[in-house]
């Protein structure tokens, strides 16, 4: 069976994924976007990867900045995740209106998340219509009192251990 773009989207929607908001500071222009293509890569050194569509503004901004933040969304942040996923939203204004902190390195990390990571880009690999950015985690926080937000079948929900 041949797999076109619509079929591939339908296939991937069956795979539950965590929801992150990736933030950046492109020479004073702050922004962010919702990303579910995120995962850990290495323990030593601590590396993660995010996959960013080369057609979105954030793609080049992350490349220029050389750093990014990953905020792992909690179940209370579903609306925020949809807002950062909306291409019509002014991401700079949205980030400015969203409670967040800045690391010493100038990376924005959102408040109210289950985890946050400040990352330095150590590699970038083109793959299809995306770039895989590999980030070395330089700082992070965890809040286990919050529940992680999950994305599956084009909807957001909570995760329940089996």
Q: What tens digit of pLDDT does each residue of 122-137 get? A: 999 999 999 999 999 9
Q: State the average pLDDT over residues 61-78.
A: 97
Question: What's the gap between Cα 58 and its chain centre?
Answer: 11
pLDDT digits (tens, 9 = 90+) for 105-122: 899 999 999 999 999 999
The predicted model scores a pTM of 0.94
Question: From CA 76, how far away is CA 99, in angstroms rounded?
Answer: 13
Q: What pLDDT is attached to residue 2? A: 82
Q: Which residues 6+ apart lie within 8 Å of 140 measured at CB? A: 115, 116, 117, 118
DSSP string for 24-71? EEETTEEEEEEE--EEEEETTTTEEEEEEETTSHHHHHHHHH-EEEEE
> What three-state secondary structure class fits 143?
coil
Q: State the average pLDDT over residues 3-27.
A: 93
| Strand partners of residue 71 | 21, 116
Q: State the average pLDDT over residues 24-50.
A: 95
Pairing between β-strand 38-42 and β-strand 130-142 as defined by DSSP bridges: unpaired
Pull the structure tokens for residue 137: 């985690």
Domains of the chain (ranges; CATH) run 18-151 (2.30.110.10)
CB 82 within 8 A of CB 156: yes
């Amino acid at each position: 069976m041949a797999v076109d773009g619509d079929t591939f989207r339908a296939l991937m929607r069956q795979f539950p994924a965590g929801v992150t908001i990736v933030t950046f500071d492109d020479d004073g222009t702050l922004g962010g976007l919702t990303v579910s293509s995120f995962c850990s890569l290495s323990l030593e050194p601590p590396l993660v990867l995010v996959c960013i569509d080369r057609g979105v503004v954030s793609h080049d901004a992350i490349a220029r900045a050389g750093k990014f933040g990953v905020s792992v969304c909690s179940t209370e942040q579903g609306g925020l995740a949809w807002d950062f996923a909306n291409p019509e939203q002014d991401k700079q204004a949205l980030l400015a209106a969203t409670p967040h902190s800045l690391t010493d390195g100038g990376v924005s990390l959102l408040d109210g998340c289950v985890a946050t990571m400040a990352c330095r880009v150590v590699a970038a690999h083109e793959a299809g219509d995306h770039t895989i950015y590999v980030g070395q985690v330089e700082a992070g926080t965890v809040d286990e009192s919050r529940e992680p937000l999950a994305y599956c079948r084009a909807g957001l929900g909570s995760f329940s251990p089996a």
